[in-house]
Amino acid sequence: MVTGLIGKKVGMTQLFAADGTVQPATVLKAGPCVVVQAKTTETDGYEAVQLGLVEAKPTKENKPSQGHFKKAGVPATRVRREMKLVAGGDPLKAGDQVNVSMFADGDRVDVIGTSRGRGFQGVVKRHHFKGGGASHGSMHHRAPGSIGQSSYPSRVLKGMRMGGHMGDARVTVRNLKVIRVDAENNLLLVEGAVPGGPNGVLMIRKAIAAKPIRIPTVEPKKKGKK
């Protein structure tokens, strides 16, 4: 059995619970996906499957990719990702379908995506530096300050927080709760936010280290001794 599938971010919304509380949620277009290639221990050294996201818009592929899809007997897909298999689960073969029905309400999932690109940013925005005084004559408003020593080691140490490219990086958000599963429309509603903007490609997998769901309880008051 596969541990996850490919999806896209549709946008954010909010849901109202029975008690009137508001839950921020993200709508994900999860699948459907098709197995393009099955990797086994005998041939590749590990067990995994290559999934392709089925989309309405056709894609053009070069001759090597056309042969890859022709061998699997599936239509060409633009977005492809590799997913691990559950140890001891049912094996999958090329052409099998994977959809959002693998998840259920209340499950915990990990969402992997690419964060929004912010371009070149300074240390105040990129690393949340406080900055200098804002009064007249400060001359140190958003500058990073000292970045090293002069005599020893006479160089800038690795990992020094400085200005640079911000965002556009692989981000994993763990233990998001599945609020609702819409199998007919291949939609998945998860609690909270996920990385990236609308139409961003995501990998949705079952949580590796799922946290237990805590249900608040009210203990009855103990009666005092008479």
Grouped pLDDT means (10 residues each) for the chain, 226 residues = 89 88 91 87 86 84 87 87 80 84 90 94 94 88 89 92 94 92 91 92 88 66 63
What are the extents of the domains in the chain?
4-117+176-206, 120-166
Q: What is the pLDDT of residue 223?
A: 67
CATH number of the domain located at residue range(s) 4-117+176-206 in this protein = 3.30.160.810
Q: What is the pLDDT of residue 217?
A: 66
Residue 90 CA to residue 74 CA, distance in Å, equals 20
In angstroms, the Cα distances linking 179 to 9, 11, 13, 81, 119 are: 15, 15, 12, 25, 34
What are the backbone angles phi and psi of residue 221, rounded to the nearest 5°?
A: -70, 135
Q: Collapsing DSSP states into helix, strand and coil, what is residue 44?
A: helix
Q: What is the pLDDT of residue 138?
A: 87
Q: What is the pLDDT of residue 162?
A: 94
Q: What is the pLDDT of residue 120?
A: 97
Q: What is the pLDDT of residue 218?
A: 64
Q: Is 96 left (phi over 0), alpha (psi -120 to 50) or beta?
A: beta
**Start-to-end C-alpha separation, the chain:** 61
